[in-house]
């Protein structure tokens, strides 16, 4: 079988991916300190770093939204339900039996139906939830919402953080399910993936 290297992920896309990953790690680490789960750098330093990383994430997501709209990449996140059940079955059973992947990955359709739903939920729900609750927490009590005390805000923000951590754990595992264990990771570093070459 002949293969060819195809550019799947642009430079900005890779920058966004790794910057977001770094910021999520920093926010999680400092968030644990702020929450009192651990003590490494001290509360004041952790809060300061957490705030800077939080605003950095806001800026990153604004630029990314602009990039998505101007590049047309927003189309990659529109849900497609065709083969969704097949995709779930593949990840639940087929992948362990050596079954072929039910969807074909192309630069125009990088994500399978399940990934599209997952990433859309992350970008349209979880990211805004964390950014909004984080900003309100940062601006408390000047920007306090009526009937939404600080304790409730903290719980919602913490639950969102657990959602992010859960996503990252599953995401890291899923990167190992490509053609080889490291092929998906390499693609997000170089931008290129090996695909079957069409023979004319």
The per-residue pLDDT for range 115-168, each reduced to its tens digit, is 999 999 999 999 999 998 888 888 777 766 677 788 888 899 999 999 999 999
Q: Taking all residues of the chain, what is their mean pLDDT, rounded to a whole number?
A: 89
Candidates 156, 128, 162, 169; CA nearest to 37 is 162
**pLDDT value for 65:** 94
Specify which of 55-64, 75-84, 134-143 reaches the highest per-range mean pLDDT: 55-64
The yes-or-no verdict on residue 2 having pLDDT over 70 is no
Kind and range of the H or E run holding 87: helix 84-92
**pLDDT value for 145:** 67
**pLDDT value for 98:** 85
Q: What is the mean pLDDT of residues 46-60?
A: 94
Strand 192-196 versus strand 3-7 pairing type: antiparallel
Q: What's the first-to-final CA gap in the chain, in angstroms?
A: 14
Q: Which domains does the chain have, with CATH numbers?
A: 3-196 (1.20.950.20)
Tokens of 198: 């069409």
Candidates 45, 40, 64, 36; CA nearest to 131 is 64
């Amino acid at each position: 079988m002949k293969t060819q290297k195809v550019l799947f992920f642009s430079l900005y896309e890779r920058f966004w991916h790794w910057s977001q990953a770094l910021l999520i790690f920093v926010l999680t680490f400092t968030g644990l300190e702020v929450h009192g789960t651990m003590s490494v750098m001290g509360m004041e330093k952790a809060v300061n770093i957490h705030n800077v990383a939080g605003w950095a994430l806001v800026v990153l997501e604004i630029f990314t939204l602009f990039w998505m709209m101007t590049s047309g990449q927003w189309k990659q996140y529109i849900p497609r339900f065709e083969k969704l059940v097949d995709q779930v079955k593949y990840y639940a059973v087929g992948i362990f039996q050596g079954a072929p992947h039910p969807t074909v990955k192309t630069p125009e359709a990088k994500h399978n139906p399940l990934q599209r739903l997952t990433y859309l939920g992350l970008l349209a729900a979880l990211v805004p939830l964390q950014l909004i609750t984080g900003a309100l927490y940062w601006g408390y009590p000047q920007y306090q919402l009526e009937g939404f005390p600080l304790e409730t805000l903290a719980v919602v923000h913490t639950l969102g953080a657990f959602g992010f951590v859960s996503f990252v754990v599953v995401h890291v595992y899923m990167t190992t399910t490509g053609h080889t264990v490291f092929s998906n990771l390499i693609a997000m570093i170089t931008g290129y993936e090996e695909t079957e070459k069409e023979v004319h």
